Homo-oligomer: A and B are copies of this chain.
Amino acid sequence: MALSKIKAIAFDADDTLWENETLFRNAEHEFCELMKNYLPPEECNRLLFEVEMKNLPLYGYGIKPFTLSLIEAAITFSDGKIPMEAVQILIERGKKMLQEPVKLLDGIEDTLASLSDRYRLIMATKGDLLDQERKLIKSGLEPYFHHIEIVSDKTEVQYKKLVNHLDIGVEQFLMVGNSVKSDILPVLAIGSHAFHIPFHTTWAHEVVNEPVNHPNFRLLESSTEMLELL
């Protein structure tokens, strides 16, 4: 694969640069604990995912949509019987999540430091702009990135716009991320390159089960492996 042509590399943010999914999984676990008088944890997890999926087209991604879905779920699952303190706890929980310290993934800073000398690096995320900007600043990784691209969803159309916006050809673009569905498949489909670096936890919405097999694709264990390839 012609990696020698690459000019710009876009990194997904959550679970590629820093830990994120674990925060949501912990919050869901706590939520289902809070709800245990009304329904068993497994059912709670399953139904909560349904509420999130129903709200996704309207709310989009991030902690604020998640908090609103938790409040809605708490009322529905308890048939309105949950005490008001629980709603207050959920609001406070959401605020705490927004202020959580950023935990960088192993090796990512060294990888970015080395690549930023030779490539234009972009952070490309479908999260909430304010929240992602805050995390980027807290992370100390900001100096390595040329700019942030926020997209409302990671589709072929959005990636084509992104590549056009960078004023390069599709064959000069490489995307790096932890989600096959969002960071890999649409990127390969437009003729660009994609590196998949799995994170140990993947949100059910992002899970893809078939293995990827494509000349422009590589599966890596950690971002530091990028330095051997580029």
Contacts and interface: CB of A to CB of B under 8 A. Distances in A.
Nearest to A86: B84
Q: Is chain A's binding surface mostly helix, strand, loop or mixed?
A: helix
A152 B165 contact: no
Interface bin, chain A:
20 to 34
Interface of A: 58-60, 64-65, 67-68, 71-72, 75, 80-82, 84-85, 87-88, 91, 94-95, 98-99, 128-131, 133, 147, 150-152, 161, 165
Nearest to A65: B64
A126 to B, nearest CB: 9
A87 B75 contact: yes
Given A80-B84, A98-B58, A64 B71 contact: no
A59 B64 contact: yes
A60 B64 CA distance: 10
B67 A99 contact: no
A9 B75 CA distance: 46
A96 to B, nearest CB: 10
A165 B146 CA distance: 10
Contacts of A59: 64, 98, 130
